[in-house]
Amino acid sequence: MVDYSHFHAVFPGQGPTPYSSKDVQEIETLRKSLNGVLFIDRVLKALSIGQGRTYPPKGDNGLRSMHKHICESKVSTHHKLSVFYYLLLDYDFVRGGKSQLAEEFAVNSGVPAKYQLLMRGLWHMDRKEFKFALEYLAHPSLPSEFADEIVAVLVLHAKDNDYSLPLAYYHTTQPVFKTSEAPDLLFGALVRTSITEALFFSRKYAESTRRLLFEKLVSTVLEDQALGGARIKELVGLPLDSFEEAWFQDYLTEGEGSKLKGASTAVETRQIITGRHRGQIRIRGMEDNAHGAKSARSAKAARWSVPCSSLLAFRLSP
């Protein structure tokens, strides 16, 4: 077993080091791009290691000071070894692909496999290498540590509205979220990916939260009409239960949703689909060729009742 209390039993005495002023600046740039917080920051805070921001250590003296803080902390040995493992991944990064310092340390010191998976995954998250990160963080042996933060980062940093990574992480790990931000962000990603899936996701929550999510689903679809009429068709054709049916009508006729473009059309189309529309459906501005009316006055006043199926096709055409 490695005596990790000795500095050089953990860190090599020769070769490139990862905490030069240039390296530190690159890490700080990554931190800034991740809303000012790295995952290693969260780990150190959870373990009460050091005071304030201790990572990245600045030069050899900074690393020695951090090593001392880790050794003197009152956390389990496995947690201490896990932090050292993360730091050695930095060493491997600057030394190139053949460097295996972190792996060798894990074997020699007995870092549990699940801690290796977690810390390596978080290391890749901090480097914004999200695909690589999920290869480790989505492993079935891992508890959903930092699941809220992982989902938030993956959604906020999705490129070109491609939310496959956060959705893959969610479906694989099925985490229990601790905050409202993560499910809200994930729900937004779901709405833009699959409206039906977003509806089923909202049903997992209590009624008050569920209604808010449902209204967000409706508003997001109507606000993003530029994405195409197919999404609006999917919205008005959703398999809603009695609660959702009432929320749909209330939100788009009396609530904030009534201000949205296409709200009244969505309501009427939904009523047609569900067979609850009352009265004739009229289209203005068409000439009454069927009756041969030729006067300008008759043409201006012309109104026709049309079959519901015809109106539905008219309203839902892209």
3-state secondary structure of 303: strand
Confidence label for 304 from pLDDT (cuts 50, 70 and 90): very low
What mean pLDDT is predicted for residues 125-142?
Answer: 97
Tell whether 118 is covered by a domain. Answer: yes
Residue 301 vs residue 153, higher pLDDT: 153
pLDDT tens for each residue of 25-75: 999 999 999 999 999 999 999 999 987 789 999 999 999 999 999 999 999
Within a domain: 128: yes
Task: Name the percent of the chain lying above pLDDT 70.
Answer: 86
pLDDT tens-digit profile of 240-269?
999 999 999 999 999 999 999 999 999 999
What pTM did the predictor assign? 0.82
pLDDT value for 76: 97
pLDDT averaged over every residue in the chain = 88
**pLDDT recorded at residue 306:** 41
User: Would you say residue 119 lies in a domain?
Assistant: yes
The whole-angstrom separation of Cα 94 and Cα 92 is 6
Residue 44 lies in a domain: yes
Count Cα atoms within 13 angstroms, Cβ side, for 261. Answer: 4
Tens digits of per-residue pLDDT, 94-119? 999 889 999 999 999 999 999 999 99
Which domain covers residue 6, as residue numbers?
Answer: 1-142
Predicted confidence (pLDDT) at residue 305 exceeds the cutoff of 70: no
End-to-end Cα spacing for the chain = 68
What is the residue type of 248?
A: F
Kindly report, residue by residue over 144-172, the tens digit of the pLDDT. 889 999 999 999 999 998 999 999 999 99
Neighbours of 42 (CB within 10 A): 15
CA nearest neighbour of 262 among 218, 306, 200: 218
pLDDT the model gives residue 277: 66
DSSP-derived secondary structure for 99-120: --HHHHHHHHHT--HHHHHHHH
Task: Look at residue 313 in the predicted model and tell me its pLDDT.
Answer: 44
Task: Please report whether residue 68 resides in a domain.
Answer: yes
What does the pLDDT read at residue 280? 55
| Inside any domain, residue 216 | no
Domains held by the chain: number: 1
CB–CB of 75/49 below 8 Å?
Answer: yes
Q: Is residue 20 part of a domain?
A: yes
DSSP output for 221-247: HHHTGGG-HHHHHHHHT----HHHHHH
Q: Are 41 and 84 in contact (CB under 8 A)?
A: no
83-108 exposure pattern, b = at least 16 Cβ within 10 A, e = fewer = bbbbbbbbbbbebeeebebbbebbee
**Which band of pLDDT confidence, cut at 50, 70 and 90, is reported for residue 228?**
low
pLDDT at 273 over 50: yes
Q: Is residue 51 part of a domain?
A: yes
